[in-house]
Amino acid sequence: TWPNYVLNNHDTPRSATRFHAPENDERMKVAAAMLLTLRGTPFLYHGEEIAMRDIPLKKSDVQDPVGLHYWPFNKGRDGCRSPMQWSSKPNAGFSSGKPWLKVHTNYVKRNVEAQDSDPGSILNFYRKLLKLRKKTPALQQGMFVPLTYDPQQVMGYLRQVEGQTVLVALNFGKRKIKLALGPRLNDAKWELLLSNKRDALPKIEKGWLHLSGDEACILLLK
């Protein structure tokens, strides 16, 4: 079977809100790297690429029938359905009229226009991930080989097709951590394809790959 994956959709709180992500978005970059390197079809929900947060709601803001009927026990799904934040213009550049739902107050800084010009933004990290996935057969169709069987803070796996092996290492915690590779992978020659924390190959020694806090690291077997 061929799976599909989502981090966000219109029925659940946004992942940046659920995971209490710091404003620097590094943890959400790790989540993005997981989404776009797992075996299967990834789906992106609008605003995910700039790490939009849920809007805070008062009862008078609610449009969702679920929230209207069950408030305050269930406040509905409007929090994750706010308009796309395109720019710092009124209504986040979404509309010159009054939108169905209010925009998040952080739209002045968190918007597509601002992130487009920032090389380190999560928007540009998504672009790098998508470009890498598009040109890397192992990430499109490759076999999934787990390296961590009970992942807590760290997750690692291989994606493999004939003639190409990619290693994905993900640290979802803020502290440095080591991923166990074993002697065969330790002795292999690797090339760094993408990381949100470094431009050079990470330290690999004695069967361990060293990761910084909130780091996604994607390596190619040479």
- DSSP per-residue string spanning the chain: ---EEES--TTS--HHHHTT--TT-HHHHHHHHHHTTSSSEEE--TTGGGT--PPP--GGG---HHHHHHTTT---SGGG-PPP---SSGGGGS-SS--SSPPPGGGGTSSHHHHHT-TTSHHHHHHHHHHHHHH-HHHHHPEEEES-SS-SSEEEEEEEETTEEEEEEEE-SSS-EEEE-HHHHHTS-EEEEEESS-SSPPPEETTEEEE-TT-EEEEEE-
Say if CB 55 and CB 103 are below 8 A apart: yes
β-strand pairing of 177-180 with 190-195: unpaired
Tell me the pTM: 0.95
Q: For the chain, 222 residues long, give each residue's pLDDT as a single digit of tens.
A: 899 999 999 999 999 999 998 899 999 999 999 999 999 999 999 999 999 999 999 999 999 999 999 999 999 999 999 999 999 999 999 999 999 999 999 999 999 999 999 999 999 999 999 999 999 999 999 999 999 987 789 999 999 999 999 999 999 999 999 999 989 999 999 999 999 999 999 999 999 999 999 999 999 999
Q: Which domains does the chain have, with CATH numbers?
A: 4-130 (3.20.20.80), 137-221 (2.60.40.1180)
